[in-house]
């Protein structure tokens, strides 16, 4: 085994065999060690939110990861590989360069399945809307789909005023007993005010100097996205036409969860809110 252990010989075969063995052991433990060190660094450097989103995003089914440009019909098929962060996406910047005007022209309000899409709001894929206020702060709220899903899901746990949010980090939570649902933060910035369901918004955020909101959906992208999301929800609910009906006369029920208590809502909510 080792040169000073009884029975060791310097025969070629022996040396080759043991060298390979030690290499393998070194690779296994080395890479494991590297993983440990990296994890430690991740913990200390506060990259945790980023990682959490990365992990969550990684596990999303491809269906849920469809590129926004597929919704707008600009490309045929594309699965997002960038964690829905279009700000650093090459595909996005490339496409935007060509079709810049398309989104801007959209003004109308539409309501798929009775869900009203506000034309002055930008939508995040985590089912939040962002409205830029006149004082440059951003108001954040749940989109109608999420609002209906979370209708009876307990209390919102909102961050303290003054804390910082990161795009795709945890925005706030809904806690219901032991389970907790995370709502993604759509923007970077400092929380300046908190609201609630009754206030019509949840957070007000000061994005600071350079607020880049390119990653949010707006205009014509929103409708197909929302349609797709409803479809996704139907799949999750196992809707097959004979049992569960999401819509009552084409309009989504106000409190979907309460209507189907037998389903694993924890899982469905996690899926819908991009928390795998």
Partner 1 sequence: MPFGKFVSLMIPWTILLLIGMYAIFLCLTKGLNQTNMDNRFAFGVWIFLDLSVIALGAGAFFTGFLVYIMKRDELRAVINSAVVLGFICYSGAILILMVDVGQPLRAWFTFWHPNIHSMLTEVTFCITCYLAVLSVEYAPLVLKNKKLKEIPAFLAMEYELHRIMPVLAGVGTFLSFFHQGSLGGLFGVLQAHPFAFREGLAIWPTTFFLFIISAAAAGPSFILLTTWIVSRISRKRLVSESVYTLLARISGSIPLVYVLLKSIDTFTWLNRTVPQMGLSGMSFFLWAPFNIWILFVEIIVFGLIPSLLLIFGGGRLRAGWLVASAALVCCGILLNRFVMTIQTLSLPTMAFDRFMLYTPSWQEISAFLFVVAYGVIIYSLSFRYLRLFPQETELDRN
Partner 2 sequence: MSHTISRRDWLKLVGGSAIGFVFTPIPWKILDESAKWTQSSSFPYGRHREAHLQSDGRISFRYTTCTLCPMACGVRVRCAADGGRGSLEAVGMTGTPGHPIGGGSLCAMGLAGHFLRYHPDRVGNPVKRTIDKRRFAPVPYDEAISNVVLAISASGNGSVAILDSHPDRTISYVYRDFLGKLKNGIYVIPPSCDSMPTTVTDRSLNTGGLEFGYDLINSRTIVSFGTPILDGWGTQGQFGSISEARRHRGQDKLRLIQIEPIHSRTAQLADEWIPVRPGTEYAFALAMAHVMVHEKLCDIDRLRRDSKDFDGLAGNSFVRLIERFSPKCVAEMTGIPADRIAAAAKETVTRRPSVVVFGGNPASGPFRPEEQAAFMGLNILLGSIGTRGGLVARRELPGPFPASHGSDNPGHLAVKTQLADVPDGSIGVLIIDGADSGSIVPWQAIQRKLSADRHLVVSLTSYLAGNSVNADYILPSPAYLEMSGDVPTPPSAPFASYSLASRVFPGPATAVSPLDFVKRTSAALSVRLGYRYQSYDMESLLRKRAEKIFSRGIGRVFNAETGENEKLTALSLSQFWNMLSGGGCWIDEVPAKLPTTRFAFLDSESRTPVNITSPKRADSGEIALMPVGTRGIGTAAQSNPIMSKLNRESDLRMPAGTVSLNPVTGEAAGLKDGVKARVLTTAGSMTVKVRFDRSAMPGTILAAVGDLTGGSERTNGETQDSILQICKIENDSTWRITNAAIEPA
Residue 17 interacts with partner 1 (CB under 8 A)?
A: yes
Kindly tell me the burial class for residue 162, based on how many C-beta atoms sit within 10 Å of its own C-beta (0-12, 13-18, 19 or more): exposed
Residue 231 interacts with partner 1 (CB under 8 A)?
A: no
β pairing state of 138-142 and 122-124: unpaired
- Number of residues this chain uses to bind partner 1 (CB under 8 A): 44
Tell me which of partner 1, partner 2, none is bound by residue 59, counting a contact when its beta carbon lies within the kind-specific cut-off of 5 to 8 angstroms: partner 1
- Report how far residue 231's alpha carbon sits from residue 89's, in angstroms, rounded to the nearest whole number: 26
Q: Which two tokens stand for residue 65?
A: 């990861």
Nearest to 97 by CA among 209, 214, 186: 214
Sole window of 21-29, 112-120, 148-156, 206-214 interacting with partner 1 (rule: CB under 8 A): 21-29
**Least distance in Å: CB of 1 to partner 2?**
8
In order of 38, 42, 68, 125, 231, the CA distances from 45 in angstroms are 10, 5, 31, 27, 39
Applying CB under 8 A, among 19, 54, 88, 208 the residue interacting with partner 1 is 54
Residue 22 interacts with partner 1 (CB under 8 A)?
A: no
Q: Say how many C-beta atoms besides its own lie within 10 A of residue 96's C-beta.
A: 16
The DSSP element (H or E) to which 195 belongs, if any, is strand 189-196
- Report how far residue 62's alpha carbon sits from residue 3's, in angstroms, rounded to the nearest whole number: 53
Residue 81 interacts with partner 1 (CB under 8 A)?
A: no
**Least distance in Å: CB of 8 to partner 2?**
10
Tell me which of partner 1, partner 2, none is bound by residue 39, counting a contact when its beta carbon lies within the kind-specific cut-off of 5 to 8 angstroms: partner 1
Residue with smaller CB distance to partner 1, 174 or 201: 174
Residue 250 interacts with partner 1 (CB under 8 A)?
A: no
The DSSP element (H or E) to which 97 belongs, if any, is helix 90-104
Is-contact 84 71, C-beta < 8 A? no
β pairing state of 155-157 and 164-165: unpaired
Cα dihedral: 53, 55, 56, 59 (round 10):
150
Residue with smaller CB distance to partner 2, 6 or 10: 6
Calculate helix-pair angle for 48-59, 12-45, nearest 10 degrees.
110
Q: Which residues are at the interface with partner 2 (CB under 8 A)?
A: 2, 4-6
Residue 28 interacts with partner 1 (CB under 8 A)?
A: yes
Residue 236 interacts with partner 1 (CB under 8 A)?
A: yes
Applying CB under 8 A, among 19, 34, 81, 133 the residue interacting with partner 1 is 34
Residue with smaller CB distance to partner 1, 178 or 249: 178
Where do contacts with partner 1 occur on this chain (CB under 8 A)? 1, 5-7, 13-14, 17-18, 21, 24-25, 27-29, 31-32, 34-36, 38-40, 42-43, 48, 51-52, 54-55, 58-59, 61-64, 235-236, 238-240, 267, 270-271, 276
């Amino acid at each position: 085994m080792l040169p000073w252990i009884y029975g060791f010989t310097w025969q070629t075969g022996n040396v080759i065999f043991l060298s390979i063995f030690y290499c393998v052991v070194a690779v296994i433990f080395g890479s494991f060690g590297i993983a440990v060190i990296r994890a430690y660094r991740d913990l200390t450097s506060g990259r945790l939110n980023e990682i959490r989103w990365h992990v969550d995003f990684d596990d999303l089914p491809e269906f849920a990861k469809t590129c926004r440009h597929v919704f707008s019909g600009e490309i045929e098929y594309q699965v997002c590989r960038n964690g829905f962060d279009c700000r650093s996406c090459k595909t996005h910047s490339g496409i935007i360069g060509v079709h810049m005007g398309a989104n801007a022209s959209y003004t109308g309000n539409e309501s798929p399945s009775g869900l009203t899409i506000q034309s002055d709001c930008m939508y995040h894929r985590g089912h939040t809307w962002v409205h830029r206020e006149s004082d440059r702060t951003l108001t954040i709220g749940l989109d109608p789909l999420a609002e209906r899903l979370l209708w009876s899901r307990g209390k919102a746990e909102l961050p303290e005023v003054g804390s910082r949010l990161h795009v795709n980090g945890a925005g706030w939570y809904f806690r219901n007993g032991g389970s907790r649902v995370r709502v993604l933060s759509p923007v970077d910035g400092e929380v300046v005010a908190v609201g609630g369901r009754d206030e019509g918004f949840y957070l007000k955020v000061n994005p600071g100097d350079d607020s880049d909101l390119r990653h949010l959906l707006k205009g014509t992208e929103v409708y197909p996205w929302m349609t797709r999301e409803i479809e996704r929800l139907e799949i999750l609910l196992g809707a097959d036409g004979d049992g569960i009906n999401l819509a009552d006369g084409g309009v989504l029920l106000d409190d979907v969860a309460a209507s189907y208590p037998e389903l694993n809502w924890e899982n469905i909510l996690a899926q819908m809110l991009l928390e795998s």
